[in-house]
Amino acid sequence: MAQISDVEQPYMKQIDLTTLNLQQLYTLKQQLDQELSLFEESLTSLKLAQNKFLTSNETLQNIDSDSEGKDILVPLTGSMYVPGKLVDTNNVIIDIGTRYYVEKDIAAAKDYFQRKVKFVTEQMEKIQVLGLKKSKIRDTIVEIVEMKLSEENNSTRA
Amino acid sequence: MGEDIQRKLQLELDSFKTVQKELQKAISTRQQLDGQLNENEIVKKELDLLPADGKVFKSVGPVLIKTELVEAKQNVSKRMDYISKELKRVDDLIASLERKQDTHREGLQKLQHQFQQAQVKAALHA
């Protein structure tokens, strides 16, 4: 599952940042910057997905058995429509990914979208937590780099 | 002597860069596969939630074609198997490329060291 976790992996070990040299610290900072921008991107696409599910769910609120037989304009292209009538308003067909579509009744469809919104929201929260942690580490690294630089300056001057 | 080392250094650097590029390509393939596997897993979960008589459609180009639920499930599982195998293959590739990169990096460091020594020597003789 597309789960994001910050559980410590067995191959991870703790290192004392102050024991690293400047080059290593720079590399580490670069890595963290990359990860942070990746998180940023992921959050944006998750937000988009969340919106799509929310709109679909809202649209479902307007469809019930009373909608049967109502007029509708069917888009053939983005800018061309033909008139049509709604038949079978009790079921909708949903894109579940990898080119598969399933038919669901209105209640099940609502449940589907609510589940999806929940899932996406959870992932977003996890990424936010992780991002916060990473940016804290990044700040610490910057601090240590500055500390080391000023130490070096002092020693060369002395 | 110095030129000889310089040439070797250039060669080593070139192969290091080639390996680095291959590694990056492998990593992005891995990410792609990972994403595909995730998507298929989500679809499988969704298919599992359907009742036995649930209607499933597969989009082929611009049309939706009705598919049997069992068939769809089999298809998705097969695809997941395939993607997992590919993942394994790419993982192995990444591991071997990383090893290669390390050897080249070591070689580079050694040559750089030799080059510097040669330069120092040349400076002393001059």
Q: Does A53 touch chain B (CB under 8 A)?
A: no
Contact: A100, B40; criterion CB under 8 Å: no
- Please give the sequence-ordered ranges of beta strands (E in DSSP) within A18-148, or none if there are none: 71-77, 80-85, 91-97, 100-105
Question: What residue in A sits closest to B62 (Cα-Cα)?
Answer: A99
Sheet strands side by side (includes A91-97): A91-97, A100-105, B56-60, B63-67
Please tell me which residue of chain A has the smallest CA distance to B73. Answer: A100
Domain presence at residue A108: yes
Domain carrying residue A46: 35-157
**Residue A85 · residue A78 · CB < 8 Å:** no
Is A29 a domain residue? no
Q: Which residues of A touch B47 (CB under 8 A)?
A: 96, 100, 102
In chain A (158 residues long), the average pLDDT of successive 10-residue segments reads: 55 76 91 95 96 95 88 93 93 94 94 96 96 94 92 80
- Least Cα distance to A142 among A53, A19, A25 occurs for A25
Structure confidence at residue A3 (pLDDT): 52
pLDDT at residue A10 in the model = 60
- pLDDT number for residue B2: 66
- Comparing CB atoms, the residue among A1, A2, A96 nearest residue B46 is A96
**Amino acid in the structure at residue A40:** E
The CB density around residue A25, as the number of other CB atoms within 10 Å, is 17
Please name each of the domains of chain B with its CATH number.
Answer: 2-125 (1.10.287.370)
Give the burial class of A102: count Cβ atoms within 10 A of its Cβ; 0-12 exposed, 13-18 middle, 19 or more buried: buried
pLDDT of the residue at A20: 84
Q: Provide, as residue numbers in chain A, all residues whose Cβ is less than 8 Å from the Cβ of B43.
A: 96-98, 100
Cα→Cα distances A89→A72, A106, B98, Å: 12, 8, 56
CA distances to A53, A104, A142, B18 from A34, in Å: 29, 41, 15, 22
In a domain, A111, yes or no: yes
Q: B54 and A98: CB-CB below 8 Å?
A: no
CA nearest to A4 within chain B: B38
ipTM score of complex: 0.76
What would the pLDDT profile of B14-69 be if each residue is shown by its tens digit?
Answer: 999 999 999 999 999 999 999 999 999 999 999 999 998 999 999 998 899 999 99
- Angstrom distance (rounded) from CA A34 to CA A24: 15
The yes-or-no verdict on residue B89 having pLDDT over 90 is yes
The CATH number of whichever domain residue A147 belongs to comes to 1.10.287.370
Contact between chains at B54 and A103 (C-beta distance less than 8 A):
yes
Q: Tell me the nearest-neighbour CA distance from B48 into chain A, angstroms.
A: 12
**Does the beta-carbon distance from B58 to A2 stay under 8 Å?**
no
Q: Between B38, B59, B76, which is nearest A2 by CB?
A: B38
pLDDT digits (tens, 9 = 90+) for B96-120: 999 999 999 999 999 999 988 888 9
Domains: count for chain A:
1
CB count in 10 Å sphere of residue A100? 22
Q: What is the pLDDT of residue A2?
A: 46
Pairwise CB contact (< 8 Å): B57 & A98:
no
Distance CA A48, CA A120 (A): 10
Measured between CA atoms, the residue of chain B closest to residue A115 is: B46
Q: Which residues does chain B have within 8 Å of residue A112's beta carbon, measured at their own beta carbons?
A: 46
